[in-house]
């Protein structure tokens, strides 16, 4: 990882950890729930610099609003194609013991299948294995988010944005300095990928870590 990015991540982890620890430790007893359920992530209507969290006591769901820049995938080769629509979304895939969140955003460009336009029933489409639409392009981005400060740090795309597919096997861990019970000085994000190994149809797991 580039030194500048490493310093950025380390500084973000340290500052975010202090803010989160301070918020949790100074809160009045019972004012902060011991855990939260993230139900929905939506995009802010106005331009914002970071994320915002509407924290609800469990079992009520909490809500995160993220800035629109998380869906910025740069130039899209399908922008000029006809009959294409854009679909965006995001999800919280993991949380650390300190409360950091690992978020993933995605942007799809899809085109309706020609046969789905002529009024065929869904039963006919299913029998003929005709998908209602085809994916023209897809882009994924991953962020480490401090829900208290709203800070979001984007992780690098080693495989490119079109290949970041295995979002369900992501995890995040934090560690305090010298094992002390304090704010985290560093964190690591891991991805476990189930891939074809090309030998007898078997599978293998690839482990990646960002520190």
Q: What is the pLDDT of residues 102-125, one digit of tens each?
A: 888 888 888 776 665 555 555 555
DSSP string spanning 127-188? HTT--SEEEEEEEEEEEEE-TTT--EEEPP-TT-TTS---GGGEEEEEEEGGG-SSSEEEEE
Average pLDDT, integer, range 186-198: 68
Paired tokens of 202: 């078997």
Q: How much is the pTM?
A: 0.64
Predicted confidence (pLDDT) at residue 96 exceeds the cutoff of 50: yes
Q: Which residues pair with 43 in a beta bridge?
A: 66
Predicted pLDDT at 211 = 61
Predicted confidence (pLDDT) at residue 100 exceeds the cutoff of 60: yes
Least Cα distance to 151 among 56, 54, 7, 13 occurs for 13
């Amino acid at each position: 990882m580039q030194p500048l990015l490493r310093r950025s991540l380390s500084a973000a982890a340290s500052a975010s950890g202090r803010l989160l620890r301070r918020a949790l430790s100074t809160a009045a007893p019972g004012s902060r729930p011991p855990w939260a359920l993230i139900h929905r992530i939506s995009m802010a209507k106005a331009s914002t610099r970071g994320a915002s969290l509407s924290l609800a006591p469990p079992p009520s769901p909490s809500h995160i609003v993220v800035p629109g820049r998380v869906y910025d995938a740069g130039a899209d080769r399908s922008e000029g194609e006809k009959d294409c629509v854009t679909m965006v979304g995001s999800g919280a895939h993991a949380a650390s013991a300190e409360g950091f969140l690992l978020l993933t955003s995605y942007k799809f460009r899809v085109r309706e299948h020609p046969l789905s336009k002529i009024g065929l029933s869904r039963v006919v489409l299913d029998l003929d294995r005709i998908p209602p639409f085809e994916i023209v392009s897809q882009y994924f981005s991953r962020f480490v988010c401090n829900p208290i400060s709203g800070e979001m740090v984007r992780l690098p795309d080693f495989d490119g944005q079109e290949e970041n597919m295995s979002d369900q096997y992501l995890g995040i861990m934090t560690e305090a300095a010298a094992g002390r019970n304090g704010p985290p000085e560093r964190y690591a994000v891991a991805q476990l990928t189930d891939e074809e190994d090309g030998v007898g149809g078997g599978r293998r797991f690839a482990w990646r870590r960002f520190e």
